[in-house]
């Protein structure tokens, strides 16, 4: 995650249309666990749930190391990371967990975590570094930018070594504010059965006004869907239509008929107004009937995870200073506070994963607001405690 201006921050978890769940053993909501215990600049945080456990990763910018932890109901275990690489991200295929990362050769690499304890052999994939990867039943799906505002989709049936079904995804009807420089990024891919969902941001950036790389100006949040496993894609949809501002940090999750997309909106210079928006589909992404600003002012980083009990949204909020849990009622309009998890002077880049009975949250926080003296924290919640 790119460095952001120091602001008084909070971490919020929101449950959209949440339901009750049975109790289960695990970390209690009183357990806020420091996974890193090494204050310093971090990036590339991610978390997944697999086999009843959680797996977390991040990149230590000061040492150039990828860190990965396995979190069970009773302990945190270190897993030896690759000797080199950056930009780590995780994916689960059943009980198998994959660590994807960018290699020094400009390609995406991965390793499989065997038996939840150690890695198998490293595999250099046939796609460029920075690709967003999804895996289902051993088949890998990738999306990555290919220049001029275009995204490229590809599919692999040999565990990432070669990719076929290459498709360029674009929307030639989109006009950007700065047509001489067109750019796409923030790519996300999700596979649910035969449905493949793509989410990304597109636009252009004006001359830099400061040394803040997150100020790239994306004018559109774009969505595309395939209903046949990636063989064909329907038209690209602008989810951010009619919403003023500049967009970034798109995230997507789905469960059966329901697809959830979130992103942040930035308005105003030199003092930013930052908000989080959500788009919800109840027909497997064929239409998005709800696009609404999430609860709270000055919210930035966000992530979303869907399950049979609902969708859970986590975001960093720069006003209250609390780590809060909120629930959203069934009609998708009101948000109600369910719990306060903690406080910090500065938080960012929260990540979330959900399994049958638990929600897992990963985030970075520190006290000086600089972004350079932070630790990575983890917390587990029982679904029933989120209402």
Whether 2 is covered by a domain: the verdict is: no
Whether 327 is covered by a domain: the verdict is: yes
Whether 289 is covered by a domain: the verdict is: yes
Q: What is the mean pLDDT of residues 296-304?
A: 75
Which pLDDT does position 38 carry in this prediction?
Answer: 86
Structure confidence at residue 16 as a pLDDT band (50, 70, 90): low
Strands 358-366 and 10-16: what pairing? unpaired
Structure confidence at residue 328 as a pLDDT band (50, 70, 90): low
- Read off the pLDDT of residues 196-254 as tens digits, 9 standing for 90 and up: 999 998 876 644 444 444 455 677 899 999 999 999 999 999 998 888 788 888 999 99
CA separation for the pair 97, 136 (Å, rounded): 11
Whether 3 is covered by a domain: the verdict is: no
Whether 213 is covered by a domain: the verdict is: yes
Can you read off the two tokens belonging to residue 175?
């006009």
CATH of the domain at 247: 2.120.10.10
Q: How many distinct structural domains can be found in the chain?
A: 1
Whether 98 is covered by a domain: the verdict is: yes
CA separation for the pair 305, 258 (Å, rounded): 11
Average pLDDT value for the chain: 79
Which pLDDT does position 8 carry in this prediction?
Answer: 36
To the nearest whole percent, how much of the chain has pLDDT over 90? 36
Q: What is the mean pLDDT of residues 340-363?
A: 80
Q: Which H or E run contains 305? A: strand 299-307
CA separation for the pair 270, 123 (Å, rounded): 44
Structure confidence at residue 323 as a pLDDT band (50, 70, 90): low
Residue 297 has pLDDT above 90, yes or no: no
Whether 51 is covered by a domain: the verdict is: yes
Residue 127 has pLDDT above 50, yes or no: yes
- Read off the pLDDT of residues 157-184 as tens digits, 9 standing for 90 and up: 998 989 988 898 876 655 554 455 467 8
The residue among 180 and 305 whose pLDDT is bigger is 305
Strand order in the sheet with 42-50: 42-50, 53-60, 65-71, 76-78
Which pLDDT does position 233 carry in this prediction?
Answer: 94
Cα 88 to Cα 20, 79, 110, 201: the distances in Å are: 33, 14, 9, 20
Which pLDDT does position 35 carry in this prediction?
Answer: 95
Residue span of the structural domain in which 219 resides: 10-386
Which pLDDT does position 368 carry in this prediction?
Answer: 57
Check if the beta carbon of residue 314 is closer than 8 Å to that of residue 352. Answer: yes
Whether 4 is covered by a domain: the verdict is: no
């Amino acid at each position: 995650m790119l460095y952001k201006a120091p602001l008084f921050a909070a971490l919020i978890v929101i449950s959209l249309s949440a339901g009750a769940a049975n109790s289960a053993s695990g970390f209690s909501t009183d357990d806020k666990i420091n996974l890193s215990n090494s204050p310093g600049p971090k990036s590339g945080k991610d978390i997944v749930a697999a086999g009843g456990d959680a797996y977390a990763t991040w990149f230590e910018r000061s040492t150039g190391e990828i860190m990965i932890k396995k979190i069970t109901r009773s302990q945190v275990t270190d897993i030896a990371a690759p000797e080199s690489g950056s930009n780590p991200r995780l994916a689960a295929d059943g009980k198998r967990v994959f660590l994807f990362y960018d290699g020094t050769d400009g390609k995406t690499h991965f390793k499989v975590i065997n038996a939840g304890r150690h890695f198998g052999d490293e595999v250099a994939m046939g796609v460029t570094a920075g690709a967003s990867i999804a895996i289902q039943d051993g088949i890998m799906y990738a999306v990555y930018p290919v220049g001029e505002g275009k995204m490229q989709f590809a599919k692999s049936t040999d565990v990432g070594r070669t990719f076929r079904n290459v498709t360029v995804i674009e929307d030639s009807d989109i006009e950007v504010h700065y047509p001489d420089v067109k750019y796409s990024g923030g790519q996300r891919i999700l596979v649910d059965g035969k449905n493949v969902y793509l989410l990304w941001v597109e636009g252009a950036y004006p001359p830099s006004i400061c040394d803040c790389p997150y100020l790239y100006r994306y004018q559109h949040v774009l969505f595309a869907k395939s209903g046949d496993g990636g063989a064909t894609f329907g038209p690209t949809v602008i989810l951010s239509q009619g919403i003023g501002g500049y967009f970034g940090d798109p995230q997507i999750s789905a469960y059966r008929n329901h697809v959830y997309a979130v992103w942040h909106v930035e308005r105003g210079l030199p003092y930013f107004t930052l908000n989080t928006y959500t788009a919800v589909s109840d027909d497997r992404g064929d239409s998005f009937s709800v696009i609404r600003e999430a609860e709270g002012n000055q919210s930035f980083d966000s992530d979303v995870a869907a399950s049979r009990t609902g969708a859970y949204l986590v975001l960093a909020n720069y006003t209250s200073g609390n780590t809060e849990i909120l629930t959203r009622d069934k009609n998708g309009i009101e948000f109600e506070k369910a719990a306060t998890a903690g406080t910090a002077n500065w938080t960012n880049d929260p990540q979330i994963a959900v399994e049958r009975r638990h929600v897992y949250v990963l985030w970075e926080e520190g006290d000086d607001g600089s972004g350079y003296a932070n630790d990575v924290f983890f917390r587990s919640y029982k679904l029933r405690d989120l209402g």
